[in-house]
Amino acid sequence: MKICTTEFPDEEQHYDKAINSLASYVTKAEPGLVVLPEMPFTPWVFHVENFSQERWNHTVEAHARWLDQLCEAIPTPIFTSRPITVDGLNLNQAFYVDRNRNIQTLRSKRFLPNDFPAVERVWFNEGESIDSVYEIQGHTVGLQLCSEIMYAEIPRILSAKNVQIIIQPRATGGHPRWKAASILSASTSGAYVVGANRRSTERDWFTGGSWVYSPEGDLLTETTEEKPFTTIEIDLSKADDAKAGYPITMFRYYD
């Protein structure tokens, strides 16, 4: 399976260029899946402590509009998340767009930070349980949305469900904790970890850095400001094999 992870700009005036660049890149690299950061198609407005319905509506509408534009630009399946209102709840909902451009909704973000610049408990309701896995292109996929990466038990729970890929869309800074958490996710789940982050140019909140780690926790590929997209072929049988080795075998002796 060829998988592409991406950086995406925080500022909306850069979206057109980013989409065109990604379309050109995908034409040459031909990945089977493109992973985008958390809620990529809206500038990060979730940093204020007063909820605004008008601002919320704008983020939902803008995200839908830019997603349509990306889907027209590339034929590749897409994995990301979006702000959306469902049954009166404001959610950060992960989803998968297949080759027919059908949207498969996945679970919504469960664990919400409330520290500037991510004052998310003001803007979002808590989503579903974190233990779901999904069949995507015949493979078992789990997810951790941004701050959920800090919950180290999630990869072990997903490992017990034979997860092969854990996707981690983010909107974060560059603290080493994020790489450390992704490495731990990979090595304690025996799954490939695919992270994707947004990048700011007008403020220092988001630093890019999207990556793929092996089921043993080895860095396989990583984006930079100069190289915002990267694609790698992954062998899913290695994720299956990793479940038969340390530390996954140790976990089976304990609850």
CATH number at residue 152: 3.60.110.10
Query: Domain total for the chain?
Result: 1
Cα(208)–Cα(247) distance, integer angstroms: 30
Supply the range of the domain harboring residue 229.
2-251
Per-residue pLDDT of the chain (255 residues; tens, 9 = 90+): 999 999 999 999 999 999 999 999 999 999 999 999 999 999 999 999 999 999 999 999 999 999 999 999 999 999 999 999 999 999 999 999 999 999 999 999 999 999 999 999 999 999 988 999 999 999 999 999 999 999 999 999 999 999 999 999 999 999 999 999 999 999 999 999 999 999 999 999 999 999 999 999 999 999 999 999 999 999 999 999 999 999 999 998 986
43 CB contacts (<8 Å, ≥6 apart)? 10, 11, 12
Whole-model pTM: value is 0.97
